[in-house]
Amino acid sequence: MAIFNLQKREIECKVVYYGPGRCGKTTNLEYIFKAYKKQIAGEMVSINTEGDRTLFFDFLPMGLGKIRGCDVRVQLYTVPGQVQYSSTRKLVLKGVDGLVFVADSLEIRREKNMLSLKDLQRNLKEYGLSIFKVPLVMQFNKRDLAEQGIPLMSVDQMERDLNRQLKVPTYTGSALKGAGVGDTLKECLKLTLKNLQKELKWSS
């Protein structure tokens, strides 16, 4: 749930990058941190768990306009993808306003993608949220590995596996090279802010 600070005329919302272990969530955030330096308030904070990390930092989406005369500040988070960090993932999701689901394009990760999406749905449900109503964008990551002859799933197959019912915007990307990273984030912020405006209308 977004936090409104009327003294500072600021709205703070939270966007979480979700997905299976080693799918590229951290790489997405590291790329954003480097590429959008001017829009970042403060440092990137990293909480290391064995073999995986949770990252977060404040992001100031310039040029997206104000909501009710308030500036918008976005906190970007990643969750640790490994199965054993289920409780951390759930904790990071608390108060989420928008989501990016990063799916791994590698053929061998097909099942892990689907399990992670189910995990997301289950965790949202425990907070009384529906995966069909939360602003959500998907990124099919690691598309660049095809150049190295590594077997990847087709985009059509990933759409069928992960997006047949959800019908959310999807982007192909390579977080390592930065391809699709900015577009994914922009779309997620657009949907999140649209949703916040709607919520504000209802609450006023």
Residue 123 sits in a domain of what CATH number? 3.40.50.300
In sequence order, what E strands does 8-97 have? Answer: 10-18, 40-49, 52-59, 71-78
**Structural domains in the chain (count):** 1
Answer whether residue 182 is part of any domain: yes
What is the distance between the alpha carbons of residues 182 and 100, in angstroms, rounded to a whole number?
Answer: 12
Answer whether residue 204 is part of any domain: no
Answer whether residue 3 is part of any domain: no
Answer whether residue 2 is part of any domain: no
What is the distance between the alpha carbons of residues 158 and 180, in angstroms, rounded to a whole number?
Answer: 16
Q: What is the domain range of residue 81?
A: 8-199
Task: For tokens 């970007």, name the residue.
Answer: 76
Cβ neighbors of 83 (< 8 A, separation 6 or more) are 21
Answer whether residue 156 is part of any domain: yes
Q: Could you list the pLDDT tens digit for every one of the 204 residues in the chain? A: 788 777 888 888 999 999 998 999 989 998 998 898 888 877 888 776 665 666 777 676 655 667 778 888 888 999 887 777 788 888 889 999 999 999 999 999 999 999 999 999 999 999 999 999 999 999 999 999 999 999 999 999 999 999 999 999 999 999 999 999 999 999 999 999 999 888 777 655
